[in-house]
Amino acid sequence: MNDLNITLNDLKQLTKWVKESNDIRELSLSYNGLELFISRNENTHRPAVSETPVALPAAAPKTNTSKKVEVNEAVSVVPTETKASSEKDISVGENEHLITAPMVGTFYKSPKPGAPAFVEVGQEVTSKTIVCIIEVMKLMNNLEAKVNGRVKEIYVEDQQPVEFGQPIMLIEKE
């Protein structure tokens, strides 16, 4: 596995990229105990997990000369708490199927605001039933049940962010 070292210069370049991109309002990055959140929205505030400063790994000097990047955006870099995975708290029986987020994005329970949810707890589903949408950078990704059965539990609230592998719902197989 390749080691990825994130330098302060890398963080400045990410900040510049978000600032100059017309279609990106926020960027959240979590890697190896480091969490970075950049927002162009003035009213966005992320609570700090810890006041402990983060030491970035030293990078080898680069031979090319790059222009200094001035950072005007608010950047919050905090260590990520040890994640108590919800999956550990969820017991999946032999006759159950756990649907997890295949990507980082925003969970939507219905096709549009005000529309009925794709599925509700207790509802019968087939393997092709769309159970939710995960939105990633304005792309809507439909998630299917993948099994025939009945929705037993839904773990995520509408319009909440989800992380890769996060449990979304539990289906009791037929």
Beta bridge partners of 39: 26
pLDDT of residue 17: 77
* CA atoms within 13 Å, Cβ hemisphere of 71: 16
Report how far apart the first and last C-alpha atoms of the chain are (Å, whole number).
Answer: 40
Task: Check residue 16 and give its pLDDT.
Answer: 78
pLDDT given for residue 41 in this prediction: 62
Q: What is the DSSP string of 66-91?
A: -PPPP--S-EEEEEPPPP--HHHH--
Instruction: Return the sign of the alpha-carbon dihedral for residues 38, 43, 44, 46.
Output: positive
Among residues 167, 171, 165, which one has the least CA distance to residue 155? 167
Please state, in angstroms and rounded to a whole number, the distance separating the CA atoms of residues 169 and 134: 13
Predicted local confidence at residue 24, as pLDDT: 73
Nearest alpha-carbon partner for 134 in 103, 156, 112: 103
Instruction: Please give the structure tokens belonging to residue 39.
Output: 């927002």
Whose structure tokens read 């890398």?
10
pTM exceeds 0.85 for this model: no
Sequence ranges of the domains in the chain: 8-79, 86-173
pLDDT per residue of the chain (174 residues) written in tens, 0 to 9: 455 667 777 777 777 777 777 777 777 777 666 677 777 665 555 444 444 444 445 544 444 443 443 444 444 444 444 333 444 467 788 899 999 999 999 999 999 989 999 999 999 999 999 999 999 988 899 999 999 999 999 999 999 999 999 999 999 998
Q: 17 is written with which tokens?
A: 């990229």
Fold of the domain built from segment(s) 86-173: OB fold (Dihydrolipoamide Acetyltransferase, E2P) (2.40.50)
Q: Which helix H or strand E contains 9, and what residues bound it? A: helix 8-20
